[in-house]
Chains A and B, each alone.
Chain A
Amino acid sequence: MTIRISHRELEAISAYLDGQLSPRERARLESRLQVNQDLHMALEQLRRTRALLRSLPAMRAPRNYVLTPQMVRPRKPAPRSYPVLRLVSVMASLLFALVLLGDFLGLGSSRALPQVAAVREEPAAEVMEAPAEAGEMTVESGAPAAEPEEAQKSMAAGEPETPSPEGTPGGLELLLATPDAELAVPLAPHPSMGLHAQAAASAQPAPPRQAPADLNPLRMLEVVFGVVAVLTGLAALLVRRGVNG
């Protein structure tokens, strides 16, 4: 006959036999054992089961399990290049993360300005309506007089303006390209400019801005560090695999 006791009671008497109960738990169980015959009988059964298990003869290994060199991987020391490659990979990864973070925080946001200007650009048809205002703007902003004339000529011809190394011909564009004017000019033109400034801004034809954005130095660094991290990491992995066989 098997005595039916709860799982909790079974666990308690099993731990009691191994001396694994706290003094309080032990005292509580012992007081219950004195009044509960079923629990007492279950304890005796478990005690004998445990004694039977412990009476099992220790088995001898049927043979020796000594290892031969053929059974195990040869343990060659890692080549000296491994720690170097690993270090370079880790450093490049860290720098990549830093540069990426800087990029997200806008530290290299000079490329954002051309984008703002690009948002304000209008179709060439509107450019045709405000050549005079554009001319006024150039005077106020102190740009060379010859350049706006050229700009007017090219605008009058309906040709898109191409960027030049000296900056764009439009006065406002000249300011946009100037670091000091980066934040103020495109979003809040000087009051003296009034509507003329807005008109002038809208008068600028769409310059092809993609090429400068792609050459952002932060982007270049991201690419360089990313490539170095991946390549050195792969090299370190190959070196390690070569060692472990």
Chain B
Amino acid sequence: MDDLELIVAAKQGDLEAFNRLVLAYQDILYNQAYRVLGDGDAADDATQEAFISAYNNLASFRGGSFRAWMLRIVTNSSYDELRRRKRRPSVPLEPVDDLGDEIESPRWIADPGESPEERTERGELARAIQHCLDGLPVEFRAVISLVDVQGLDYLEVSEVIGAPLGTVKSRLARGRGRLRDCLQGFWELLPASHRLESGH
């Protein structure tokens, strides 16, 4: 069964058919939630909520890109999760030191649970990028993730976030510009091919 057949069956209440869609899309949705939220637990909750919401509102899916429709739902559930965690913070999304001050240094990026061998260059770079993403406004993060991580084109992103094309272009450019500035602080982590050589 392809996606369309599964969607039709799920619309008629076939939970098994919907769960096959869940298995096909869960990595995509978790990825988006993680890039927007920057936290595994929060992304986990947002992804689960997104699938529940998608099932309950499946009747509102009128065709088109199911992937874009699902990404819209998970992006919105990520916004909701972010608001919920801001209202009732349990675990800080940003690392803090013993005095409760936010740590801006790249030192925190290294997971203390990992051995030095495990801290591969790739892993550290990924954490550095995520750290810079986390410093962006959430609307910028969502657009950057949709374009540069999920690989959507501008028109699809416009549909997902429900904003005009000009807004997509603007948020993407400003987000990338800020990321460029932030990543220059992680010079030593960047592979030679990616170093932004102008200033160093």
Contact = CB atoms under 8 A, between A and B. Distances in A.
A14 B148 contact: no
Interface string B1-29: 00000000000110100110011001101
B170 A11 contact: yes
Interface string A33-57: 0000000010011101111111111
A80 interface: no
Given A18-B147, A49-B196, 14 more contacts: A2-B181, A52-B183, A52-B190, A52-B194, A55-B125, A56-B129, A58-B149, A60-B27, A61-B27, A61-B47, A65-B48, A66-B19, A67-B22, A72-B15
B149 A56 contact: yes
Given A45-B180, A63-B44, A51 B199 contact: no
Given A1-B198, A67-B52, A69-B15, A50 B23 contact: no
B183 A64 contact: no
Using C-beta atoms within 8 Å of the partner chain, give the interface range for chain A.
35 or more
Nearest to A1: B199
Nearest to A73: B56
A40 B140 CA distance: 24
A41 B197 CA distance: 9
Closest 6 A/B residue pairs (Cβ): A1-B199, A14-B173, A53-B148, A75-B13, A61-B30, A11-B173
B194 A51 contact: yes
A2 B144 CA distance: 20
B98 to A, nearest CB: 29
Given A2-B180, A46-B176, A61-B30, A72 B129 contact: no
Contacts, number: 122
Contacts of B180: 2, 45-46, 48-49
Contacts of B27: 58-61
Given A62-B44, A72-B52, A52 B198 contact: no
Contact of B125 (A45, A46, A52, A75): A52
A20 interface: yes
A65 B22 contact: yes
B129 A52 contact: yes
Contacts of B51: 65, 67
Given A65-B47, A67-B15, A56 B126 contact: yes
Contacts of B174: 7, 10-11
B179 interface: yes
Nearest to A14: B173
